[in-house]
């Protein structure tokens, strides 16, 4: 049941006059002493106006302490929490608390303090307080929007700007244990990101968030944090709540970061301050539309394409390179310096080709030969690599799409290659993967005609890095590969490898991995969805199926079922439904995955928890694919037959 709208005679959403709402209902008494007084309002307005990196404020003590303690008790005793995990968050969440009026009388009897808190937060007096402090304009008392979110160790919320629909002010009211003060080293802080203005070629200005936050607000009992929602500016995240380290005191209450969070919306029709058409204008500025590419030109890294054949010819202009698809003796000699010999035999290549034709994906273990792999692993774990990482890697941006360290390949022809001398990681990045020889092998293994390629190396640091779900919008399919060279053991995938006896179709014993051991760091390809759904959008991310497995097979991706859903959300799938997973690529050592990615397919790398055994290292490539003329001819033929049949 929706609450009543304000009317022009000065009645608030509950039908009381503004003065009566304060006096008769004791609204002031529900907040901390003096909070609603003019002098206090002016002080918060000044603090808000002078805050950085964007305007925000923190109220150390918002509510009457007894009231909030009662609210916390009611929540713990009567509200059910559902664990939810997507590419952007991992939390335990209640249902929508705004519609408490719709509960049965018996249910409401168990939540009197929570109902009182809801009405106080969305009362005329407090909405006026917020409007004055933020200068954001009038706020709705009709459209309430709040939920309880619980973060336990491992939970997090990655960078976003909250710009969805009619939201005007975001807020978080903390309900952490009042008798066990929250410690900053436990994590869970609200972190605010600065932006910088960047110009495109025509001189148009864009605000782009920097890759690191500058504002940090740790949780505290009865503390309110709030800010006006600003397109392209109000970027923030919630720091992971960290697991207790060995030897740390257990008297921390379990590190449960509980908070009521939500939004104040623009006035709705019939309310004071309603502006026709405003909600539609705000929707045009949503962060989801930004994610679709308005400022892509400022993203880092950018693909740097090269043609392996031209690279080879530039290195050897006197050779009669005819672009033959077959591996020459020199190609095999070069590849054997890096690859496991078995993957170069004609029988194995033919087997891979057949598998790829069925699955549109490959996943190969022990891809690098044992000698080179041992050297690479030793180097990554050595002291020399530590200095190299600091100098060689850059940080990707913007953080509402991804954050990881990267190196862009600078292709070098394999002339006078001494695989035992140079930095082995850079050998793979700059010589092996961009080479014409590897390009030929990849074409033979997949049966595709390949053109230009782009290669980068990535490092996903624990406690920091991720890649949020992004689609592929090219008209033609693109071949993508990932050579994962994560040197540390102890990832969830290690246990799965030990338990699964999968065949080429990914069948085998299901590995049950405890949620607490899921430290992220896996790359996931998922089926996309139609783009004509809810225009208002969502910031919930791409839902991760509960029974995620690191399987090698993906079925026939060409006929993969497409889910119709919100542009940024996957609906929960029943056990007998397709969960949308096409390929899962966990953090691992010396594995190569190859995927034919078609339009709309989503891909992300899950945030790497601070509890992970190390950082994820991989080298990823994208390769243009020549369209199959035979398939085009078949399609044309089918169209002609259909046309003839209907004539």
Q: How far apart are CA 79 and CA 449, in angstroms?
A: 57
The pLDDT tens digits for 421-466 are: 679 999 999 999 999 999 999 999 999 999 999 999 999 999 999 9
State the pLDDT at residue 245.
87
Residue 499, C-beta contacts closer than 8 angstroms, at least 6 positions apart: 509, 511
Q: What is the pTM of this model?
A: 0.85
Count, residues in the chain: 647
* Residues forming beta bridges with residue 365, ordered by sequence position: 591
State the pLDDT at residue 503.
39
How many of the other CB atoms lie within 10 Å of CB of 481? 23
Residue 627, C-beta contacts closer than 8 angstroms, at least 6 positions apart: 476
Q: How far apart are CA 547 and CA 572, in angstroms?
A: 12
Spacing of C-alpha 577 from chain mean position: 24
Report the mean per-residue pLDDT for the chain.
Answer: 83
State the pLDDT at residue 313.
78
The pLDDT tens digits for 483-493 are: 999 999 999 65
Residue 577, C-beta contacts closer than 8 angstroms, at least 6 positions apart: none
* Residues forming beta bridges with residue 620, ordered by sequence position: 456, 482
Q: Is 503 left (phi over 0), alpha (psi -120 to 50) or beta?
A: beta
Residues 100, 105, 111, CA angle at the centre, nearest 5°? 50
Once rounded to an integer, what is the mean pLDDT over residues 535-540?
A: 54
Q: Is 19 exposed, middle or buried (0-12, 13-18, 19+ CB in 10 A)?
A: exposed
> What letter would DSSP give residue 154?
T
Domains within the chain, CATH numbers bracketed: 36-290 (2.60.120.620), 308-631 (3.60.130.20)
Q: Please tell me which residue, 531 or 93, carries the higher pLDDT value.
A: 93
Query: Quick one: pLDDT band at residue 631, thresholds 50, 70, 90?
Result: low
Q: How far apart are CA 267 and CA 439, in angstroms?
A: 58
How many of the other CB atoms lie within 10 Å of CB of 346? 9
Q: Is 90 left (phi over 0), alpha (psi -120 to 50) or beta?
A: beta
Percent of the chain with pLDDT over 70: 78
Going edge to edge, which strands form the sheet with 581-585? Answer: 402-403, 466-471, 602-605, 523-526, 581-585
pLDDT greater than 70 at residue 359: yes
pLDDT greater than 80 at residue 6: no
Q: How far apart are CA 416 and CA 394, in angstroms?
A: 29
Once rounded to an integer, what is the mean pLDDT over residues 549-562?
A: 29
Sign, Cα dihedral of 520, 521, 523, 529: positive
Q: Please tell me which residue, 386 or 113, carries the higher pLDDT value.
A: 113
Structure tokens at 70: 């009662």
Q: From the DSSP assignment, how many helices (H) and strands (E) are in the chain?
A: 18, 25
State the pLDDT at residue 486.
98
The pLDDT tens digits for 208-226 are: 999 999 999 999 999 999 9
Q: Report residue 232: phi and psi, to 5°.
A: 70, 15
Q: How far apart are CA 271 and CA 249, in angstroms?
A: 52
Residues 23, 27, 28, CA angle at the centre, nearest 5°? 90
Query: Quick one: pLDDT band at residue 349, thresholds 50, 70, 90?
Result: very high
Query: Quick one: pLDDT band at residue 98, thresholds 50, 70, 90?
Result: low
3-state helix, strand, coil in the chain (%, to 5): 30, 25, 50
Residue 349, C-beta contacts closer than 8 angstroms, at least 6 positions apart: 343, 441, 444, 445
Once rounded to an integer, what is the mean pLDDT over residues 254-276?
A: 92
State the pLDDT at residue 384.
87
State the pLDDT at residue 107.
82
Query: Quick one: pLDDT band at residue 413, thresholds 50, 70, 90?
Result: confident
Q: How far apart are CA 360 and CA 527, in angstroms?
A: 13
pLDDT greater than 70 at residue 574: no
State the pLDDT at residue 533.
39
Once rounded to an integer, what is the mean pLDDT over residues 606-621?
A: 98
Residue 405, C-beta contacts closer than 8 angstroms, at least 6 positions apart: 389, 393, 394, 395, 396, 458, 459, 460, 461, 465
Q: Which of 58, 70, 72, 67 is nearest to 32 (CA)?
A: 67
State the pLDDT at residue 496.
52
State the pLDDT at residue 539.
66
Once rounded to an integer, what is the mean pLDDT over residues 637-643?
A: 41
Which range among 128-142, 252-266, 328-342, 488-502 shows the weakest confidence by mean pLDDT? 488-502
Residue 330, C-beta contacts closer than 8 angstroms, at least 6 positions apart: 437
* Residues forming beta bridges with residue 148, ordered by sequence position: 260
Q: Is 420 left (phi over 0), alpha (psi -120 to 50) or beta?
A: alpha
Structure tokens at 544: 């991760």
Once rounded to an integer, what is the mean pLDDT over residues 140-167?
A: 93
The CA-to-CA distance between both ends of the chain, in Å, stands at 56
Query: Quick one: pLDDT band at residue 202, thresholds 50, 70, 90?
Result: confident
Residue found under tokens 């759904």? 533
Q: Is 537 left (phi over 0), alpha (psi -120 to 50) or beta?
A: left
Q: How far apart are CA 52 and CA 215, in angstroms?
A: 7
State the pLDDT at residue 501.
39
How many of the other CB atoms lie within 10 Å of CB of 411? 20
pLDDT greater than 70 at residue 291: no
pLDDT greater than 50 at residue 23: no
């Amino acid at each position: 049941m929706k609450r009543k709208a304000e009317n022009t005679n000065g009645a608030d959403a509950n039908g009381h006059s503004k003065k009566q709402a304060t006096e008769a209902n004791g609204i002031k008494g529900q907040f901390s002493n003096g909070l609603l007084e003019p002098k206090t309002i002016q002080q918060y307005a000044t603090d808000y106006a002078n805050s950085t990196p964007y305007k925000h404020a923190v109220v150390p003590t918002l509510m009457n302490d007894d009231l909030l303690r009662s609210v916390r008790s009611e929540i713990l005793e009567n509200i059910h929490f559902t664990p939810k995990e997507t590419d952007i968050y991992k939390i335990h969440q209640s249902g929508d608390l705004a519609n408490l009026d719709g509960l049965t009388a018996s249910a409401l009897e168990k939540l009197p303090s929570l109902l009182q808190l809801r009405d106080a937060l969305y009362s005329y007096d407090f909405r006026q307080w917020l409007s004055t402090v933020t200068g954001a304009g009038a706020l709705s008392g009709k459209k309430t929007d709040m939920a309880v979110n619980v973060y336990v160790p491992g939970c997090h919320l990655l960078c976003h700007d909250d710009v969805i629909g009619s939201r005007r002010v975001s807020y978080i009211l903390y309900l952490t244990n009042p008798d066990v003060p929250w410690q900053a080293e436990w994590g869970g802080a609200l972190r605010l990101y600065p932006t910088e203005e960047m110009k495109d070629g025509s001189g148009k200005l864009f605000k782009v968030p920097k890759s690191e936050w500058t504002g940090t607000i740790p949780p505290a009992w009865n503390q309110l944090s709030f800010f006006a929602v600003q397109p392209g500016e109000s970027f923030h995240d919630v720091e992971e709540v960290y697991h207790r380290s060995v030897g740390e005191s257990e008297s921390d209450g379990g590190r449960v970061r509980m908070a009521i969070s939500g939004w104040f919306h623009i006035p709705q029709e019939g309310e004071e301050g309603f502006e026709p058409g405003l909600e539609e204008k705000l929707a045009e500025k949503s962060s989801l539309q930004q994610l679709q590419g308005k400022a892509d030109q400022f993203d880092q890294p950018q693909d740097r394409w090269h043609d392996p054949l031209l690279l080879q010819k530039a290195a050897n202009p006197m050779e009669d390179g005819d672009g033959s698809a077959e591996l020459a003796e020199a190609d095999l000699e070069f590849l054997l310096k890096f690859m496991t010999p078995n993957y170069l035999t004609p029988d194995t290549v033919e087997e891979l080709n057949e598998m790829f034709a069925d699955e549109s994906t490959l996943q190969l273990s022990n891809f690098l030969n044992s000698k080179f792999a041992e050297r690479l692993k030793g180097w990554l774990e050595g002291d020399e690599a530590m200095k190299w990482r600091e100098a060689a890697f850059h940080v990707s941006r913007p953080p509402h799409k991804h954050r990881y360290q990267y190196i862009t390949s600078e292709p070098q022809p394999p002339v006078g290659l001494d695989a035992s001398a140079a930095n082995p990681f850079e050998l793979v990045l700059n010589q092996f993967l961009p080479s014409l020889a590897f390009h030929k092998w990849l074409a033979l293994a997949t049966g595709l005609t390949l053109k230009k390629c782009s290669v980068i190396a990535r490092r996903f640091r624990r406690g920091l890095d991720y890649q949020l779900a992004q689609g592929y919008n090219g008209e033609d399919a693109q071949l993508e590969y990932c050579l994962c060279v994560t040197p540390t053991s102890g990832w969830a995938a290690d246990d799965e490898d030990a338990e699964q006896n999968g065949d080429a179709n990914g069948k085998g014993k299901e590995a049950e991995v405890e949620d607490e051991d899921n430290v992220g760091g896996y790359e996931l390809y998922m089926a996309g969805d139609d783009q004509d759904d809810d225009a208002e959008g969502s910031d919930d991310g791409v839902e991760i199926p509960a029974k995620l497995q690191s399987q090698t097979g993906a079925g026939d991706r060409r006929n993969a079922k497409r889910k119709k859903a919100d542009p940024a959300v996957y609906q929960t799938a029943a056990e007998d439904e397709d969960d949308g997973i096409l390929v899962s690529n966990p953090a691992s050592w010396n594995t190569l995955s190859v995927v034919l990615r078609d339009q709309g397919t989503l891909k992300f790398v899950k945030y790497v928890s601070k509890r992970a055994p190390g950082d994820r290292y991989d080298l990823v490539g994208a390769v243009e694919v020549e369209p199959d003329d035979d398939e085009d001819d078949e399609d044309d033929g089918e169209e002609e037959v259909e046309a003839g049949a209907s004539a």
